[in-house]
A and B are shown apart, each in its own frame.
Chain A
Amino acid sequence: MSQVTYFILGTGSMLVMVVLIIWFVYSYQRKLSLRNAEYRMVEALMQRNELKSAYAVIEGQEAERKRIAAELHDNIGGIMSTLKIFSDLVTLETDTSEVRRLNKKVNELSIQLTAEIRKLSHELDLRTLSGFGLRVALKQLCESIQATGKLQVVSVIELQRSPDDVLSMNLYRIIQELFTNTLKHADASRVRIELSAIDDELTMIYEDNGKGFDAELQGGGMGLDNIRKRTQSMEGQLTIDSNSFGTTVIIEIKL
């Protein structure tokens, strides 16, 4: 091999390698930028889809409101009108036996009205839960409690997917019961509720800043008893910690 050939090949191969590396860097960076552009496109698409599902939820809620209005007007409104007629008749009637009969009717109607309202309320819970999932149902519950002005509610709900219907219903009822207890007995001003599902474990933490209670003494109370039974039915673990600064209830469930 001549000296010139050697020199050309020796330095040439090094230069070729440098060019090859530069070309590789260029191709790789180009690939990265293309991939980033694709990611951005997918993100935009997902955002649009999220908006669409948000619109769907809003539309669903609107339809639900209309259905409730119709239910109130047609069913409960009808009973209320009848109730008013009977109560008007009571005020006008002088005959004692007739007054007694009318009062009986008013009593029956008020029982029917209570049952209808309970049925509607129960149906609404179920519809929200099955239609929109536990997250939306809990958000609504927290909003409605907050709207009463009696409690400041902070909710942190991190659920990657909604738990099954039975579990959702049990959790929802437990949280409802806890809210009822706080409102009735705790004299609290703040409630914090945290619900998270990480891997296969669901954790619910409910805290209020009320005056607390003695969990041992009130162990047999109806509300707490129901919470215990529901937790047991879900094969979960219930921890209650209560003192004069507030109450913390933790429920852990294996999914």
Chain B
Amino acid sequence: MVSFKDISFAVSNISDISEIFPALVWIKWGNRNKPFAMMGLFFLVSGIIRLIALGTAIKGIHNMPLYHLLALLEAAAVYIFFTQAKGTKPKTAVLVILLLVYSGNILFQNMYLDFNSNTWTLTVLIIIFLGMRFFHRIYQTEESKALQRMPEFVITCGWLIYSSGSLFTYLMGTDILSGKPEGFFNNAWLIQCVSNIIKNGIICYGFILSSTECPR
């Protein structure tokens, strides 16, 4: 009989593999201009990292440093995406601060080989903040474009669903991942995985939309 743990592992693997799909869609159909180029490149890197992480996990090799890197890349990529979508240049200072905060947190808390709840929580909070701010900007703008024709809006929806679904998983991440993956709590990664799969699906659609709705 299939156990809850088996389901959780299967969904987690699908979630990791699904990260490469937005990159493939972007390569095939996506818009190469700002802000989609940054998002496409991020998914390419993120997809590869997650596949490596999946491979290392299967072989029982510690892969947490990859996730530390991924948290930083995710926060930076989302920041650059929303800044470019707004029509402004991303500030180097912000990226440097992100790098310092993320690496500082890992160094000072000695979390090289643990899941870093702090940085991942910070990442999803940044995504929620930037996503909400982007919604506000869309609402305030004088442009009368329908939302279904705005790939930036679709991509933002994907990120928001992912970040809200991941928030509590990341908050409790260290506890969830400690101990054996038995019982509901220690398999609760499922919620994050589902939200990640939804995000990747929505962003794939956003990339397809960007090919028809935005100038190439």
Q: How large is the interface on A (under 10, 10 to 19, 20 to 34, 35 or more residues)?
A: 20 to 34
Looking at chain B's contact residues, is the secondary structure mostly helix, strand, loop, or mixed? helix
- CA distance in complex: A20, B191 (Å): 19
Q: Is B195 an interface residue (CB 8 A)?
A: yes
Report the minimum CB–CB distance from A24 to chain B (whole Å): 5
Q: Is B167 an interface residue (CB 8 A)?
A: yes
- CA distance in complex: A13, B191 (Å): 11
- CA distance in complex: A7, B161 (Å): 16
Residue of A whose beta carbon sits closest to that of B139: A28
B169's partner among A10, A16, A36 (CB-CB below 8 A) is: A10
Q: Is B197 an interface residue (CB 8 A)?
A: no
Q: Which residues of B contact A18 (CB under 8 A)?
A: 161
Q: Which residues of A, 167-193, contact B by the 8 Å Cβ criterion? A: none
Report the minimum CB–CB distance from A84 to chain B (whole Å): 71
Q: Is A29 an interface residue (CB 8 A)?
A: yes
- Given A28-B147, A36-B144, the answer on whether A17 and B164 have CB atoms closer than 8 Å is yes
A21 touches B160 (CB 8 A): yes
Q: Which residues of A contact B167 (CB under 8 A)?
A: 10, 13
B139 touches A14 (CB 8 A): no
B146's partner among A11, A14, A32 (CB-CB below 8 A) is: A32
Q: Is B27 an interface residue (CB 8 A)?
A: no
Q: Is B157 an interface residue (CB 8 A)?
A: yes
Besides the known contacts A6-B168, A6-B185, A28-B138, 7 further A-B residue pairs in the complex with CB atoms under 8 A apart: A6-B172, A14-B161, A17-B161, A21-B157, A21-B161, A29-B146, A32-B144
17 contacts between A and B (CB under 8 A): A1-B172, A3-B185, A3-B188, A10-B168, A10-B169, A10-B188, A10-B191, A14-B164, A14-B195, A17-B160, A17-B164, A18-B161, A21-B161, A27-B139, A28-B147, A31-B139, A36-B144
Residue positions of B touching A, CB distance < 8 A: 135, 138-139, 144, 146-147, 157, 160-161, 163-165, 167-169, 172, 183-185, 188, 191, 195
